[in-house]
Chain A
Amino acid sequence: MTQHNIIVIGVSTGGPVALRRLFSGLPPLNAAIIIVLHIPQGMDYRIAKGLDAVSSMPVALAEDGEFLRSGQIYLAPGGYHLLLAGNHRIVLVEGERVNFVQPSVNLAMKSLTRPLNGKIIGVVLTGMGRDGAEGIRHIKAMGGITMAQDQESCAIFGMPKAAAETGAVDMVLSPEKIGKQLVSLLH
């Protein structure tokens, strides 16, 4: 089976604007991109459509059982946790919120396993709290590449700070520079 490059982006408050900055002008990437944004049901499709309008890659709400495709952006729907089975299939699960949120960035990132080939990249953008910190540590431990948004460009420098404090973040950058790094890493 072909192994995808996979990017998991975790984000919360301030996310729609940060994601727009990251993906505007970015060429299609050789990776499946999963965005886990803390968002309620009913708002998720609006964010997906807004991002789709500025991204060169198609953006859609992730669906249960869907297989990942390169060059596609999947937004985790509100009200479910998103897991990645075998690093290639989306699984949406109900259940309790984790640290007040559903979807949880940590659960999505920690569902990844060490790939036989292909890159795994974890990114944590603006938001309150610590969601994503454990996930970033997990991705780094698997040999993945990790990035966090810098304080200056964050609406709330909570999640990126917590991720950086794990010592497992490779780069702390603005959304635009994260985009450039993704292009460079996946060239």
Chain B
Amino acid sequence: MIVDDNEYVRESVEILFKSEGGCLATAEGGKECLEQLEAGFKGVILMDVMMPHMDGWDTIREIVSRGLYDGNIIIMLTAKREPDEKMEEIQSYVTDYLTKPFNPTELLEMASYYGSLLKETPCHDAA
């Protein structure tokens, strides 16, 4: 799922994934992202940081607090070269961080790798 308020970014990422035979859900912002997670979406989430109403960090906080994180991997896809302090307390939930303009090959490889990890099933409980 690409979560970005910029239509151009959503479309370009969608074209990229479809050209490789992949599928991509799109969300214009945090609210739409949460709705899709509530509806059962599981997968890799490419999350923008700077979005109106609810930014990427607040969206992640909501994902965690509503118990929607499990079974997903969050990658920040952002123009911000350095994450701001708001990321620090939720960094465990931010698996990777890619800066725009992104390298299409790197993005596809990253999404493919993290997508493959989500197909794994639990082996055992810790401790």
Name A residues whose Cβ lies closer than 8 Å to a Cβ of B. 12-17, 20, 38-50, 61-64, 77-80, 92, 99-102, 127-129, 155-156, 158
Contact = CB atoms under 8 A, between A and B. Distances in A.
Interface of B: 69-71, 73, 76, 82-83, 87-98, 110, 113-114, 116-118, 120, 122-124, 126-127
B80 to A, nearest CB: 11
A14 B113 contact: no
A158 B127 CA distance: 30
A51 B36 CA distance: 30
Contacts of A44: 126
SS class, residues of chain A in contact with chain B = loop
B120 A45 contact: yes
Contacts of A158: 83
B117 A92 contact: no
Contacts of B90: 100
A83 to B, nearest CB: 12
A50 B116 contact: yes
Given A40-B69, A50-B113, A156-B97, A129 B88 contact: yes
Contacts of B93: 40
A138 B110 CA distance: 34
Contacts of A13: 76, 83, 87, 91, 94-97
A48 B125 CA distance: 13
Nearest to B70: A42
Residue among B83, B97, B126 with most chain A CB within 10 A: B126
